[in-house]
Structures are given as structure tokens and as C-alpha cells.
């Protein structure tokens, strides 16, 4: 196998989630920003990060309120996901523009997106200035899911949410399941 090295190193860690992050201020304004530079950083306590450029309208809302919500998009929300990432809350009400509904969150004052199958409420713990982006390291303080993905026993079926992956500029459907955690070492029956 032979490999070619790119002239310059860059961001090539894909696939990853692209999410709609909601935020708000104490004057009753709220906004949605699409974020791909996001991920899980700790299981216990549950912690995540989002990286946001200072010039984004959302930046100060997140910094000053210290809160945000990560809303996972299902396939039918892909258009809104892209649109919230190509328009600014400085000029448009993105909830209206993207056809999304503000919903009250459980633990934070930032709103959630009613149509999102999964909403992860976060409280900022630390802001790291890295370069183009500042990283908001945050505690997950609440997770809520659309009840239509719960079965009669109350178990949540994430595979039914039709979540979207982001791969080098493209929004992609999740493919078929190849295996499940630990399948490589599981004893065959």
C-alpha cells in the first residue's frame, strides 16, 4: 500500500456529527448555529465540547450565558442543519427561517429544538482559546429524547432516529450496521 501525504496538515477526522447548537441571552434572544467541531470528551462526568469562531453571532451568547444545547439532526432536518450554518442570527430569526420550533429545555435557559430527536443540554465549564476557534468545554446537565423513539418498555432506539453524519463537506445518511460494540470478541453461540 502506498500513501501520499498532503502538503499541509488539516482537519481530516471524519465522519463526525454536525449538530444544531441552540443558545440564548437574558434579553430573550435565541439562536441556532450549526457546528461540526464537536465531540464527547469524558464519560463521567459526561462532558462534551463545541468549537466556535469568535466572529459568530452565537459566540457571545454562549460565552455570556454559559449554556447551550446540542440538538442532533435527523435526516429530515438536514436542510435546516445546513441553513442554520449559512445564515446569521444577527440578521434572521433562524427558528423561523429554518421552520423549527423553540422548546423549553429541562435544565438550562437556552431553548431546545422541538423537532430534534435528541437534545443535550450543556453548561460551559471552561473556554480554551485555540486559534481560529475557541473550544467550549461543557458538562452535560440533561439529555432528552423524542418519546416516539421509546418502545413500550421505555428503551430508547437511536437507530430509529435516522441521524445524519458529516463527512468532509457532505451530509450523509448512516449506513447499515456492521457490528455492535464488542462483537469482535464476543463468544459465538
Residues found near ligand FMN in the complex (CB under 6 A): 18, 31, 33-37, 51-53, 56-58, 82, 85-90, 133, 166
Give the residue with the Cβ less far from ligand FMN, 94 or 118.
94
Least gap, CB of 97 to ligand FMN (angstroms): 10
CA distances from 90 to 20, 51, 87, 151 (A): 17, 19, 9, 41
Say if CB 88 and CB 98 are below 8 A apart: no
Query: Strands, DSSP E only, in 9-95?
Result: 19-24, 30-35, 38-42, 47-53, 67-72
Residue nearest to ligand FMN (CB): 85
Shortest spacing between CB 3 and ligand FMN, in angstroms: 27
Nearer to ligand FMN, 89 or 111 (CB): 89
Burial of 132 (0-12, 13-18, 19+ CB in 10 A): exposed
Minimum CB distance to ligand FMN smaller for 74 or for 87: 87
Give whichever of 39 and 150 is closer to ligand FMN, judged by the CB atom: 39
Of 41, 19, 45, the residue nearest 32 (C-alpha): 19
Judged by phi (left if over 0) then psi (alpha if -120 to 50, else beta), residue 76 lies in alpha
Q: How far is the CB of 2 from ligand FMN (least distance, A)?
A: 32
| Cβ nearer to ligand FMN, comparing 31 with 112 | 31
Contacts of 71 (CB under 8 A, 6+ apart): 19, 20, 21, 22, 32, 112, 113, 116, 118, 119, 120
Smallest separation, CB 145 to ligand FMN (Å): 23
Q: How far is the CB of 63 from ligand FMN (least distance, A)?
A: 12
Amino acid at each position: 500500500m502506498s500513501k501520499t501525504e498532503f502538503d499541509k496538515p488539516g482537519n481530516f477526522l471524519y465522519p463526525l456529527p454536525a449538530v444544531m447548537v441552540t443558545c440564548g441571552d437574558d434579553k430573550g434572544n435565541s439562536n441556532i448555529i450549526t457546528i461540526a467541531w464537536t465531540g464527547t470528551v469524558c464519560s463521567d462526568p459526561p462532558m462534551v465540547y463545541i468549537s466556535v469562531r469568535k466572529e459568530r453571532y452565537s459566540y457571545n451568547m454562549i460565552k455570556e450565558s454559559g449554556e447551550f444545547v446540542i440538538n442532533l439532526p435527523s435526516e429530515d432536518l438536514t436542510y435546516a442543519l445546513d441553513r442554520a450554518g449559512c445564515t446569521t442570527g444577527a440578521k434572521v430569526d433562524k427558528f423561523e427561517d429554518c421552520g423549527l420550533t423553540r422548546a423549553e429545555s429541562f435544565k438550562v435557559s437556552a431553548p431546545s429544538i422541538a423537532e430534534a430527536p435528541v437534545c443535550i443540554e450543556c453548561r460551559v465549564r471552561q473556554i480554551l482559546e485555540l486559534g481560529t476557534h475557541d473550544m467550549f468545554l461543557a458538562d452535560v446537565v440533561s439529555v432528552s429524547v423524542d418519546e416516539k423513539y421509546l418502545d413500550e418498555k421505555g428503551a430508547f432506539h437511536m437507530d430509529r432516529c435516522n441521524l445524519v453524519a458529516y463527512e468532509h463537506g457532505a451530509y450523509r445518511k448512516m449506513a447499515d450496521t456492521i457490528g455492535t460494540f464488542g462483537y469482535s470478541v464476543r463468544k459465538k453461540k
